[in-house]
Structure 1
């Protein structure tokens, strides 16, 4: 269990679809992560309360573009109706839900989901619009330039969405690559990193509009709920880091300083990045005596996280992976894709047996203050940790 501190996170997420606790008690594994705490500010959250995620996951649900829209503090009814059009076009084209999340996040950055005109549009056209942009001759939800179509076409949300999806499909391995990379390949923006900050909210809006679709993964051409693990990535962009079931839980009465969960795994089991991001830390965590001797199995009371990795993801989330068997396969500053192997499970550090200690932090805060319960967080992203899928 991690003993970086016992102070709860400064802001708790409102996460829906919280599963019942796992009833099978696995072999108790003791682990203590002693990773030093420091604060990051880049890719921070949007500062708004998190809204409850969709309680159901129905891959066949068709979005309704004419009915009542869900409520999100960040956007009004007209903007969410534009979002519904984007999702509906993706459904009509038969694209996996991951494409809807990418398209929505892109439009959120380009236009804040408003159908924008510009000063070059002749007043005689009297096109319906929801604001005037200032980016050259770009128009519409995706700020598309003349090569994408006529003025009337680019100002038609369904047309603009279809053109975005058509170009998206030309991007190799677009479902596995980071959202910001894929969006940039389509848009060729002057600010290529700006799309990432919208990914989490885009997934929640897709969930609200389309029956929990951000929690689906494509398996044999069919959308399956809550089955993202290993090489399978949910539409939300997340995957379970390792197969298995949760043993020692998050901040239990017996272990109030356990800032993550322990997932049972044999030694040498591949550990996957839970989502695309950038490696912050990949090193040996010292024990209580400040020795860095992670190249052997640890023991209870030794102290330290062993070989471990921290990854920063879009939205200011950080994931931590402890007790690896040897030096990680990644290095600080490296960009990783969702599902990429970052190391192998082991028992280095303060550990009584092979397993993965997994943490999730918010607000780009690596300290115990930022830690939240990974179980509901991952379940809400279609990548449950309980080994049911």
Structure 2
């Protein structure tokens, strides 16, 4: 069968291999002790090096381990040792309180926005009223005494206590969850820090941002289940035709082979850019019928913009999507149903990832490693 402009269906073995986490670059060494005790070694990253992401073998997801908040610390994206020690405190308090790793990402992103992970004193006229510490918490608003809110452990605990009282916080976009706690004058400011907060958690907690559920029972995110990074798989399916293969160099995504009418999930929180019928090669709008190879077009499709200029695309839906341009969606939200409209000869989801805010082919990257590095691997989830 061919689909998505000619998918070659491929069966995949689903056996899970017990292989260790590997690291993308040699600048970071990370070793886990046998027995799950959780010791690790971090080598120093020089200068303003790009943060290192962890990659996973098929079927493996990150597992949080105890974080050392003392001793030598790495440098990451202009975050110095004292800032990363504060991040380690935030993570450790979250672990003690049994907050899922998603909460660690939310907390660190919030602290980056509020203080750049620095324990700020009273800043005089530059200060927002009496805001202090990592989270710019205000003693006058009931957060604690000035000395308490400048204690990183106390401030982290108070943040988590309020976060856990937010209904459905794990499914909310990060910026919404943070705003329910902080009540900031700039409620949209937190989202841009989600990618680097995810990398900090991965770096300091042994890839914990790649896990769904909690750090006690880490697992890869299934469709509709959100990894701590804020990402999930769009469908549980077998990966068919790949990204820009030798036979299909213009194939800017991957085809996920699955039957009609299956739910398609937004892979992360974001805003819908496009939701419409894509014209075929003759310019006709004929998405309410099954397509065929050579017809052209994406059929019914949706583009969603996420934090960090990432755009995801979902093609060949069976009917009009459930969302409209301008809608805000949550990670895991059902946005449509699998079909075979457009340039397709069989039911499947054609899925693309674009970087830099570019919807064109110039921004397209291979979705398989991209999703794996966010704890929501496409391979092995069918």
Identify whether the pair has TM-score above 0.5, normalized to the shorter chain: yes
RMSD of equivalent CA atoms: 1.9
1:73 and 2:77 correspond:
yes
Aligned position for 1:224? 218
Q: 1:82 aligns with which of 76, 86, 90?
A: 86
SS at match of 1:98: helix
For residue 165 of structure 2, the aligned residue among 158, 167, 170 is 170
Deviations 1:158-203 (A, max 9, x none): 1111100000011001111111001000000000000000001100
Q: 1:50 to 1:256 in 2, by over 3 A?
A: farther
1:200 aligns with 2:195: yes
Structure 1 residue ranges without an equivalent (≥5): 4-15, 19-47, 121-131
Q: Distance in 2 between matches of 1:67 and 1:333?
A: 47
Of 283, 286, 296 in structure 2, the residue corresponding to residue 290 of structure 1 is: 283
**In the TM superposition, what is the alpha-carbon distance from 1:222 to its structure 2 partner?**
4.4
8 Å CA contact 2:309–2:356 kept in 1: the answer is: yes
2:54 maps to which residue?
54
Which piece of structure 1 moves more, 174-183 or 71-80?
A: 71-80
Tell me if 1:273 matches 2:295: no
Q: Structure 2 matches for 1:1-389, cutoff 5 A?
A: 50-55=50-55, 57-119=61-123, 134-146=127-139, 147-218=142-213, 222-225=216-219, 227-388=220-381
Compute the displacement of 1:54 (Å): 2.6
| Structure 1 residue 110 displacement after superposition | 0.4
Give secondary structure in 2 for the equivalent of 1:165. helix
Give the unaligned 5+ runs of structure 2: 7-21, 25-47
* 1:52-106 superposed Cα distances (whole Å, 9 cap, x missing partner): 2135755251111113323312311111111111111111111100000000000
Conserved 8 A contact 2:312-2:351: yes
> Could you say which residue in structure 2 is the equivalent of 1:13?
none
Query: What is the rounded CA distance, in whole Å, between the counterparts of 2:155 and 2:64 in structure 1?
Result: 24
Return the alpha-carbon distance in structure 1 between the equivalents of residues 79 and 64 of structure 2: 26
- The CA deviation at 1:268 is 0.7
TM-score between both structures, scaled by the size of structure 2: 0.84
Whole-Å Cα distance in 2 between the matches of residues 246 and 189 of structure 1?
42
1:134 shift after superposition: 2.0
The 8 Å contact of residues 293 and 343 in structure 2, kept in 1 or not, is answered as: yes
Please give the secondary structure, in 1, of the residue aligned with 2:213.
strand
Work out the number of aligned pairs and report it.
335
What TM-score does the superposition give when structure 1 sets the normalisation length?
Answer: 0.82
